[in-house]
Amino acid sequence: MLNIFRILRIILLSSLLILVLTANISAESQPEFHFSMSVDGKNEKSVAAGDVITVFFTLERTDSAEPYTMYAFQNEISYDASFFELVEGSLFLKDGITARDLDARDHHRELYMNYISFSGGAQWAAKTIIGSFQLRVIAENGVSVIRCLDYGVSQNDGKDRYTATADNITVTVSNNCSVVFDSRSGSAVPSQTVALNTPIVKPTDPTRQGYTFTGWYTDVDCTTLWLFDQGVSANLHLYAGWKERTDSGTVVTLPFADVPPESWFYDSVCYVYRIGLMNGVSDTLFSPDSGASRAMIVTILWRLEKSPVAVSAVKFADVADGMWYSKAIDWASANGIVDGYGDGKFGPNDPITREQMAVILWRYAKFKKKDVGVSTNLAVYTDADQIGSYAIVPMQWACGVGLICGVEENVLSPKTGATRAQMATILQRLLLELQN
């Protein structure tokens, strides 16, 4: 009997130990973090033009004071390039952390910081000083906010992030804020100086030949409409939104039920549909999420060139004469725009990957005698190592001129097949680039 009680006691103690260990493992596997930015230990700072501020950047574990295993983190610190300039040589970082000062698509710059452990994780203290950098104030008036964007601490598998929060810093030169109107190829609209927390006087709508004005937006992609009854909290850039008109002066009306006006690809589909580059898969459907094929992109470029007949071409074993794409592929092959897979085949019906599209468009731009020397640093993308060697230079160009962007922040997805919506968007960007 005594042995039975002893065994039961051992089992009970073992179960409790397992529960404690499981709880500890669970707590260790789900830490929470806070990205802290400060100037003089605060999140607000009054300055004058010409002042230099030092921004300190810290990563702190908020659920525990215990050390933890750091696998990877990133943060994009965004600052207004019309308000600040980064002081050269002022960036100091903890060992192993890299940073790049990148030009964003709007008037901002982004100080992109990241860390990756290549040894299965590193032990970090619960509160770790990441580093510091200095910004020189170049604005004469107004308020600006330095923001943390797309920040996160990665879990071990790299697929998910732990819960994290972040600070912003508000820097004030004066209570009179600058409001700049970017009409984006429309008629000029004068800037305004507006007292902090007071509304902007709505200007006269700009005009642009061939387009209808849709309003002022706070972002360059024109997704967030500015309401003129709200007060300004900082210096502001507003961007004019436009919808292309037909020659008759009316806004393009699409017959496709699956391309709603609020979709991110609406304007691009309008553009390629109006000029006859892309049609729907039926009278009422465009199928924006369907994959695009290799034959499709080549045929579209061939149509851009008024469907010429190829003088000579490499014949691919899987491109039979008389197919809807045959003449287009013959033309592209004859002009060095495509060269197939290298095994005598082209794969006309294969999905076209994003890196393959970059290569074809790069070669087409060269065919058009355009400068393809523009480049960008692909290292900002976490999956840059997946780009095929043949596609690195074309992808640098395509990303550098804005034809191809990440499918997510810092994820390029070069091997993923492009959708019809993505193709429409990239084609619109290509034609605008070729016009420059």
Q: Specify the pLDDT at position 73.
A: 92
Q: What is the pLDDT of residues 58-110, one digit of tens each?
A: 999 999 999 999 999 999 999 999 999 999 999 999 999 999 898 887 889 99
Q: Specify the pLDDT at position 435.
A: 64
Helix (H) or strand (E) run with residue 238 in it: strand 236-244
Interacting residues of 180 by C-beta distance below 8 A, sequence separation 6+: 82, 107, 191, 235, 236, 237, 238
Which 8-state DSSP code applies to residue 227?
A: P
Q: Specify the pLDDT at position 34.
A: 95
Q: Coil, strand, or helix at residue 218?
A: coil
Q: Coil, strand, or helix at residue 179?
A: strand
The whole-number average pLDDT for the span 254-267 is 87
Q: Specify the pLDDT at position 21.
A: 39
d(CA 409, CA 428): 22
- Within 13 Å of residue 76, how many CA atoms lie on the same side as its CB? 14
Give the confidence band of 158 by pLDDT, cuts at 50, 70, 90: low
Q: Specify the pLDDT at position 243.
A: 79
d(CA 232, CA 200): 7
Burial label for 310, CB within 10 Å (0-12, 13-18, 19+), is middle
Report the mean per-residue pLDDT for the chain: 85
Q: What is the pLDDT of residues 202-222, one digit of tens each?
A: 898 888 877 888 788 888 888
Smallest CA-to-CA distance from 213 within 236, 182, 237 is with 182
d(CA 68, CA 162): 12
Highest mean pLDDT among 89-93, 150-154, 376-380 belongs to 89-93
Fold exhibited by the domain 176-244 = Immunoglobulin-like (2.60.40)
Smallest CA-to-CA distance from 433 within 398, 406, 407, 405 is with 398
Positions of E strands within 138-221? 143-154, 164-166, 169-172, 176-182, 192-195, 211-217
Q: Specify the pLDDT at position 210.
A: 78
- For the chain, what percent of residues have pLDDT higher than 70? 89
d(CA 270, CA 274): 6
The number of angstroms, rounded, from the C-alpha of 34 to the middle of its chain's C-alpha atoms is 23
Contact, 377 vs 98, CB < 8 A? no
d(CA 384, CA 424): 24
Residue 328 backbone dihedrals phi, psi, to 5 degrees? -65, -45
180 sits in the region (left: phi over 0; alpha: psi -120 to 50; else beta) called beta
> In the block, which residue shows the tokens 């698509």?
105
Give the confidence band of 283 by pLDDT, cuts at 50, 70, 90: confident
> How do the domains of the chain map onto residue ranges?
33-172, 176-244, 266-435
d(CA 434, CA 426): 12
Q: Specify the pLDDT at position 208.
A: 84
- Looking at domain 33-172, does it have CATH number 2.60.40.680? yes
- Reply yes or no on whether the pLDDT at 196 is more than 60: yes
d(CA 101, CA 195): 31
Helix (H) or strand (E) run with residue 123 in it: strand 122-124
Give the confidence band of 274 by pLDDT, cuts at 50, 70, 90: confident
Return the structure tokens found at 68: 């933890």
Helix (H) or strand (E) run with residue 127 in it: strand 127-137
The whole-number average pLDDT for the span 182-196 is 92
Full-model pTM: 0.53
Give the confidence band of 436 by pLDDT, cuts at 50, 70, 90: low
Q: DSSP letter string over 33-99?
A: EEEEEEBTTBSEEE--TT-EEEEEEEEEESS-SS-EEE-EEEEEEEEETTTEEEPTT--EE-TTEEE
Q: What is the pLDDT of residues 321-332, one digit of tens each?
A: 889 999 999 999
Give the confidence band of 157 by pLDDT, cuts at 50, 70, 90: low
Fold match between domain 33-172 and domain 176-244: yes
Q: What is the pLDDT of residues 331-377, one digit of tens each?
A: 999 999 998 888 889 999 999 999 999 999 999 999 988 888 888 88
Q: Specify the pLDDT at position 28.
A: 47
Residue 427 backbone dihedrals phi, psi, to 5 degrees? -65, -40
Smallest CA-to-CA distance from 252 within 423, 424, 420, 404 is with 424
- For the chain, what percent of residues have pLDDT higher than 90? 50
Q: Specify the pLDDT at position 159.
A: 66
Helix (H) or strand (E) run with residue 4 in it: helix 2-29
Smallest CA-to-CA distance from 296 within 362, 348, 366, 358 is with 348
Q: Specify the pLDDT at position 17.
A: 42
Q: Specify the pLDDT at position 328.
A: 92
Q: Specify the pLDDT at position 252.
A: 61
- Reply yes or no on whether the pLDDT at 23 is more than 60: no
Q: DSSP letter string over 284-324?
A: S---TTSBPBHHHHHHHHHHHTT-PPPSS-PPPTT--TTST
d(CA 207, CA 240): 10
Q: Which of 183-192, 247-256, 394-403 has the lowest mean pLDDT?
A: 247-256
Q: Coil, strand, or helix at residue 124?
A: strand
Q: Specify the pLDDT at position 11.
A: 46
User: What does the radius of gyration of the chain's CA atoms come to, in whole angstroms?
Assistant: 27
Q: Specify the pLDDT at position 247.
A: 52
Return the structure tokens found at 100: 């790049």
Q: Specify the pLDDT at position 347.
A: 92
> In the block, which residue shows the tokens 């529960």?
19
